[in-house]
Each structure stands twice: as C-alpha cells, then as structure tokens.
Amino acid sequence: MTDRAARGAAKRCRGAASGRLAGPIRPAVTAQVDTTPEAVDSETLAEIFRRFQAAEPEPRGELHYVNPFTLLVAVVLSAQATDRGVNLATGPLFAVADTPETMLALGEERVRDFVRTIGLFNTKARNVVALSRILVEQHGGEVPASLEALQVLPGVGAKTASVVLNIAFGVPRIAVDTHIFRVSNRIPLFVGATTDKVQAGLEAIVPEDYRLHAHHWLILHGRYTCKARKPECPRCRIADLCRYPSKTVA
C-alpha cells in the first residue's frame, strides 16, 4: 500500500468509525462524532495479544514456500495479488526452480510463463530474475538476513524485507499491510496515517513476548474477522476490548 493509499484508508477508517455516510446529506452526525478513539492502554494491548496467542499459538502465513529464497519470491509476487493466486503459480514454478541459481537459469521468459496469472507479472518476473542474479553474484546464493541488503533487491521494499526477516529469520518485525493498517486504526492499537508510521508504532508498543507473531495474528484477524467492509464483531474474540464505534451486531 502506498502512503497515499494508506492516508485514504485512514480517512475511511475514521469515516467509518464516525458513522459518516456517503452522499451529501447527514452532515450534522459527522460533525458531532467525527473523532478517532484513543489507542488502547498497555494492559488492554497485552490482553488482546494474549487472546490471539491462546487461540493460535503458532500462527502461519498463507503463502507457500520451501526455503528463504522461495519465501522471498512468493512475497515479491504477492504485491497486489492474493496469496491463493500466488500459490497456484508458485507451486509449478518452485518445482523447477527453488534456488537463486535455478531461477536465474530458468530466465525471465520462462519465469513469466509461470507467473502470468498474477497481476504485474511482467515486472515481477523481471524482478525475480534480477534479484536472483544479485543473490548469486553478491550473496553466495543466500538470502541475506539484513534489512538493508534485502530492501535494495529489485521488487523488494521495506515491507517485503520485514516479512522475510520475520518469517525466515525470526526477526520480530511487524510489516503492515492493508489488513494490519485497518485493524490497528480500528481497535485502535496504534493510530497512524501511513503504513510506515503504524509499523513503527506497533513495533514500539507490542510487548516483546508477542512481537514475533504479531504480524501474522493481525493479518489473520483482519482477513477473517475484522474484514474491511463488514467486520464480524459478534464473533470477535476481542470485541469487549475494541473501541471501534461502528461494531456490527448479530
């Protein structure tokens, strides 16, 4: 998500929180309650993550991969695409190329054939081969466990690098995607207008014991419970702790 898109989403979060409705009428309601709730306190924050952990002690992402390299490729391919769509393409791709060397040998044209069902496949195929080349030539065919080294690879920004560091190397980073951005601003855990600000905020306030898995817990919560259009508040395990003013009812 770009910062511009994130700001739009933040406005929508606040709009939804205030009960703001589309269209030219009903301005009085907006003026009266157009406020974002204060973020929850530290005890509540810890209780929210205690419940996430109790429900799912070892949360997993949904992208398929077999090693840090295939994880990196899968995350690069997943930008503006669904995990399911990426998995459908990467199954056959990783069967023939699961290392930087084999991906490089496969070449851009063949990689493109494997990923052409995914959005932006031309650019992504080019990036996958280019980053494979850099890994072979500069990193001995290994994925580096460093934010600085990862985020200069083609197609790899700070968010992708954070996801790879978190999943492949156990670094407690909380990459913020559209789901985490929404969930954090709704509950609110941390209120921020951009994904970068929310990531920095969450990494500063989420208790250390929960930081490693926070990324997955929040993504899964956003995907399956705190959905964008209609959050499923009646079955939400943290509904009593959440301050979102427009909770849904059964």
* Residues 158, 196 contacting (CB under 8 angstroms): yes
Asked if the bond preceding 188 is cis, omega within 30° of 0, the reply is yes
Tokens of 164: 């790879």
Tokens of 96: 């023939």
Give the interface segment with ligand SF4, choosing from 3-11, 20-28, 148-156, 231-239 (CB under 6 A).
231-239
We find the least distance from the C-beta atom of residue 238 to ligand SF4, in angstroms, to be: 6
Of 88, 154, 83, 97, the C-alpha closest to 115 is: 88
d(CA 81, CA 79): 5
* Residues 18, 245 contacting (CB under 8 angstroms): yes
Burial class (CB in 10 A: 0-12, 13-18, 19+), 31: exposed
Residue 239 as a binder of ligand SF4 (CB under 6 A): the answer is: yes
Residue 231 as a binder of ligand SF4 (CB under 6 A): the answer is: yes
Q: Where are the alpha helices (DSSP H) in the chain?
A: 3-18, 27-33, 42-55, 68-77, 83-96, 100-115, 121-139, 147-150, 158-169, 178-186, 195-205, 208-224
Residue 105 as a binder of ligand SF4 (CB under 6 A): the answer is: no
For ligand SF4, the binding residue among 187, 198, 218, 219 (CB under 6 A) is 187
Residue 129 as a binder of ligand SF4 (CB under 6 A): the answer is: no
From 159, 197, 230, 240, the catalytic residue: 159
User: For this structure, is 196 an active site residue?
Assistant: no
Residue 40 as a binder of ligand SF4 (CB under 6 A): the answer is: no
For ligand SF4, the binding residue among 9, 157, 244, 250 (CB under 6 A) is 244
We find the least distance from the C-beta atom of residue 151 to ligand SF4, in angstroms, to be: 30
- Listed in sequence order, the residues at least 6 apart from 93 whose beta carbon sits closer than 8 Å to its beta carbon are 73, 111, 114, 115
User: For this structure, is 177 an active site residue?
Assistant: yes
We find the least distance from the C-beta atom of residue 90 to ligand SF4, in angstroms, to be: 31
We find the least distance from the C-beta atom of residue 231 to ligand SF4, in angstroms, to be: 4
* Residues 68, 169 contacting (CB under 8 angstroms): yes
Residue 242 as a binder of ligand SF4 (CB under 6 A): the answer is: yes
Size of the residue set binding ligand SF4 (CB under 6 A): 13
Output 134 or 228, the one with its CB closest to ligand SF4: 228
For ligand SF4, the binding residue among 186, 197, 215, 216 (CB under 6 A) is 186
Of 58, 61, 75, 63, the C-alpha closest to 210 is: 58
For ligand SF4, the binding residue among 12, 64, 112, 247 (CB under 6 A) is 247
Note the residues at the interface with ligand SF4 (CB under 6 A): 186-187, 225-226, 231-233, 236, 238-239, 242, 244, 247
Active site residues: 159, 177
